[in-house]
Structures are given as structure tokens and as C-alpha cells.
Amino acid sequence: MLGINNQVVSFVSPPPPTTTIEATDLEDGHPNHQLWNKMTDNIGRHSFSSRANFLRSDSSINTVEDFLDTLINSSHYDRRIRPFFDQHKACNVTMTIHINTISAINEVNMDYNTDLIFRQSWYDPRLNYSGTEWAKRSPEITLHYSLIDRIWVPDSFFRNAKEGKRSDITVPNRLIRIHRDGKVLYSQRLLLKLDCQMKLQKFPLDNQTCVVNIGSYAFGTKDLSFYWDETPNTSAIRVNEDLEMPDFVLSNFEQRYCNRTTATGSFTCLLVVLHLKRLFGYYLVQVYIPSMLIVILSFVSFWIDHKSVPARISVGLLTVLTVTTQSSGIRSQLPRVSYIKAIDVWMSACLVFVFAGLLEYALVNVIARKNELRQQVRFSREKKKLDRTAKITLIQNLQDGSSFATERVIGNRLAQVHFYKKDDTHQTNIETTETLARKTSVTEKNLRSGSITSPLIQNSAISNTTAPSQTPQVILSQQAPVSKTAKPIRDTAQLVDLVSAILFPVAFIVFNIIYWMVYLNMQVEYVLK
């Protein structure tokens, strides 16, 4: 070890005998001056001999260019060797990160973009110039960014980076600053696309945790150690106060330490943990409220008359197609994961409700057609029964030999026909009289409404003693009470619609209560690996 001006200079190869020389001994004419020249000749082969010459001839360096050329001259500074290599100690690197922006959080690719300023600091004793005249002139020197290739820098990299580049607008955004005690500050602005493994079970009611993982690629823990630059009043992680994201808000962030062991050894690493909370407003307006209104629209069809087939079918099909299209659009924005997401449960439930409404109308239609068929069969049976009764009455009257009158519908006219016995004494004086009359409006109404009257006979017995010149008195029988003989049929189709109009909305409200209670209180653990 050689101490000059309170500065320690280390030698890679075995050093010569330890000798302490004061700064005044280096003046010309001093007895130790020849000893110093001899010593520098002996150690010229060593890595720091040029630095000793720099210290000796410090007064001859007048410009900063000469100073830098001497300080980082390749003849005595080897950038391939890390600091403290000869002392078998690890080089400690402290880091800080300033996050400018976080953008393009992509659930499909599970990554995000960030713009950050990455700062690293370490001590390199080979760059210590505290005992020189330049330490007073310039306590710290900011180098040009091109000189980064002439000094040693840590091999830090981002473990979870997919893509990355340095910002070059308008010049490469790099800062290299050397302090007189050998401390080096290296800052650079990076544009990175980092991997973020997301848990989407609660999407879009979820919170995500993304990390920035920094590690050493080649140097193990014995050679290089990373630490956060922690001070009492300043955090190592800084975030832009104006940071805004369209889908998320940065709720919290923290710094952690980690070590990774691989096949090539154990390596140090640092973690920046970002806690992101998803903003629910977009999905509430664009997904939940529209799908809810579509389901409610499908419930309106229950109040439409089941005989309005086009209206019921149109509402049912349109709601099913709309929910299906909306669900497909949402799935295209999400990765194909094996587990069920909250949005999948919601869209599936909405599809089930609108599809069940369409099936309900199919059931109502079937029930209505069965009721109509059953009613037609019942009316047909009553009609046959009345026809049979009328025929029996006619036969009985003919067998009794009584004269009677009847009304028949001939074409579009109502005719009254008188029947008489062939052997009647007044046969020659009695003629069949037909009284023709147009159908009254009341008759037309009865025929249109399907009311059943006696189709053949409405008669009354006429006495044989009645004078032939007089028109026989006809007493019309009352209308056959078909409605009283047939039991009224209950409209089951309308009953099903009424029950569905109450049951479906209640079921949808119950589903909403369960859905929001479960997913708002669900906790998904994120394990950092």
C-alpha cells in the first residue's frame, strides 16, 4: 500500500516495500525525490503507476481535458476490472428510480410500458482525486456521455423486460458524474416494456401488482451487491406527481430486496412493487349498464300479447344477439385464461336471462295453441250434439203429424218454412210460405263471433184446427245456451307470462345482489416470485 496525500493506492501485483512519502518530499532537490523516481520506475508495470505519475505531476496539468485524459487513461485504468477486485470485496451499488409515466397496460400480453430515470452510484477508488489540486477546483466533474465507455459500470439489467431502449431525444440521455472521493453517479433515461403477470379473476373489479426487477447479469453476490439509496427523508422510488393512467391508478408502491440463484450462481436483485387499482367507471358505462338495460328490455316482452308473434320474436332475438356481440367484444380484449373472470360470469348470466325469455315465449306459444285446439274440439263436440238433437226433434214432429214451422239459412237469406201433413183436409188450400228477410246486423254479429244457434230447427206445433187462411203462429225457440253447457277454459298462456313477468326481474335482482357482494369482497393473492 502506498499513501500519498492521504490517498491510498492499491496494486494488483505484489507491491514493493511499503513506504510513506509526504507531499513535500516530492519537491526537486529533496533527498527522497530520487527514491520516489526509483519507486515509480519499479511499479510502472502495475495498474496504478500512471496514477502515481499523475499525482506527482499534478501541478503540470492545467486544463480539464488533460486532467480527464490522465484520470481515465487506459494505461493505468482498466475498465474491464471492477472496483475493489484486488481487495476481494464486493462493490456496493446504490440505486434510485424516478418513474415518469406508466402506460399501455395490456391484459392480453400481460405487460406495460414505463418511462423512468435509472440512477446508479458506486465508489471506484481508481477515480479518487481528493488529494490533488483539481479536488479544490472541481469537487465533482460531469463527463460527456461518450466517456461512459471508458470507465467501469455495473452490468445491471431488468429481469422482466421484454423490450427496452435508451432515450436519445435530443441527445442520448445519460449522465456520468465523478466526485473527488471516487464516487461515480450514472443516470440514464430508459423506455421499457416490462412483463406483468396479472390475476384476472375479478376483472374488471381487480387490482393488479406489477414489478420492476433489477439484477446483475454476470457478477455474483461476492462481486457485486445492489442496495436502495435510502435516506431518512427521501425514498429510493420516486413517482411523477402528474402520473395518470386511463384504466388504473397507482395506489401504492414499495421497494424490496431479493436474491436469485441460478445454474451460474447466486445474484443480487432489487424489486419495485407497483400496486395498481383498476378504474371501474369505463366498464360500468360501457359494459354493465348497457347489458343490464338489454336484459330489462327482454323482460318487457312478457307484457306483450302472446298473439303478437312478430313483436315477441323480434325482441327475443335482438336481445340475444346484442348480448352475444357484446360478450364477444369483451373477450377479444382479454387473454385466453383457464379460469373464470367476473366479467364472464356477468355476461353469461345476462345471456341466460335473455335466452330464457325467448324460450319462455316458445313455451307460451305452445300452450296457447294447445288451448285453442282444445277449445275448437270442445265447440265441435257441442255443435254435433246440437245437430243430433235438432234432427231427432224434426223426426219426432214428422212422426207426430203436427204442422210446424222452421227457419233455415238459404244463401245469405233467412227463410221461414212451414211443414204440414200430407193427408191434411186443407192440403189444397195451404201453401208453403217463405218469408224472406235480409240478415240483420245482430245476426251477422252472432255469425262472426262464432255463437252457435240451432242450425236447422226452431219450431212450434201448429194445431190442425187452425183455419187454412191464417198464417200459422210460429213461436221461435230460444238460442241454445252453448256457453253455459261448455265450461270456460282458463288462459294458461297469459298466466305463464304473468308469472314470468314477476319471476324473471326478481331473479335478476337476486343475481345482482350476490354478484356484487361476492366480487367486491373477494381477495386475490399475488405471490411475488
**Percent of the chain having pLDDT more than 70?**
68
**151 or 410, which is more confident:** 151
- pLDDT value at residue 134: 81
- pLDDT value at residue 498: 93
Q: CA-CA distance, 306 to 315, in Å (whole number)?
A: 12
> Residues near 385 by Cβ (< 8 Å), separated by ≥ 6?
none
The pLDDT tens digits for 328-370 are 999 888 999 999 999 999 999 999 999 999 999 999 999 988 8
Beta carbons of 347 and 326 less than 8 angstroms apart: yes
HEC per residue, 380-414: HHHHHHHHHHHHHHHHHHHHHCCEEEEEEEECCEE
The pLDDT tens digits for 30-81 are 444 443 344 334 333 344 444 544 544 555 677 888 888 888 887 788 999 9
Distance spanning both ends of the chain, measured CA to CA: 45
**pLDDT at residue 323 greater than cutoff 90:** yes
The values of phi and psi at residue 246, to 5°, are -70, -35
The values of phi and psi at residue 306, to 5°, are -65, -15
**25 or 83, which is more confident:** 83
Lowest-pLDDT choice from 133-137, 508-512, 517-521: 133-137
The pLDDT tens digits for 243-259 are 999 999 999 999 999 98
Closest listed residue to residue 341, CA positions, set 205, 206, 203 = 203
- pLDDT value at residue 229: 92
CA distances from 393 to 202, 457, 474, 484, 519 (A): 81, 8, 16, 21, 79
Question: For the residues 408-430, what does the mean pLDDT come to?
Answer: 52
Q: CA-CA distance, 250 to 113, in Å (whole number)?
A: 14
The structural domains of the chain, with segments of one domain joined by +, span 63-278, 283-374+493-525
Cis link prior to 170 (omega < 30° from 0)?
yes
Q: Do domains 63-278 and 283-374+493-525 have the same CATH topology?
A: no
Mean pLDDT of the chain: 77
Residue pointed to by grid coordinates 411475488: 528
Q: Tell me the one-letter amino acid at 471.
A: T
C-alpha torsion angle, residues 141, 144, 146, 151 (rounded to 10): 0
CA distances from 133 to 2, 21, 77, 386, 468 (A): 19, 18, 20, 134, 161
Q: CA-CA distance, 367 to 499, in Å (whole number)?
A: 14
Q: What number does CATH give the domain 283-374+493-525?
A: 1.20.58.390
- pLDDT value at residue 406: 58
Cis link prior to 172 (omega < 30° from 0)?
no
- CATH class entry, domain 63-278: mainly beta
**pLDDT at residue 5 greater than cutoff 70:** no
Q: Tell me the one-letter amino acid at 227.
A: Y
The pLDDT tens digits for 501-510 are 999 999 999 9
Sign, CA dihedral 65-70-75-78, equals: negative
Q: CA-CA distance, 258 to 528, in Å (whole number)?
A: 10
Based on the number of CB atoms within 10 Å of its own CB, is 29 exposed (0-12), middle (13-18) or buried (19 or more)?
A: exposed
Sign, CA dihedral 15-19-24-27, equals: negative
> Residues near 1 by Cβ (< 8 Å), separated by ≥ 6?
8, 9, 10, 11, 15, 18
Q: CA-CA distance, 508 to 502, in Å (whole number)?
A: 10
The pLDDT tens digits for 373-394 are 887 787 777 777 776 676 666 6
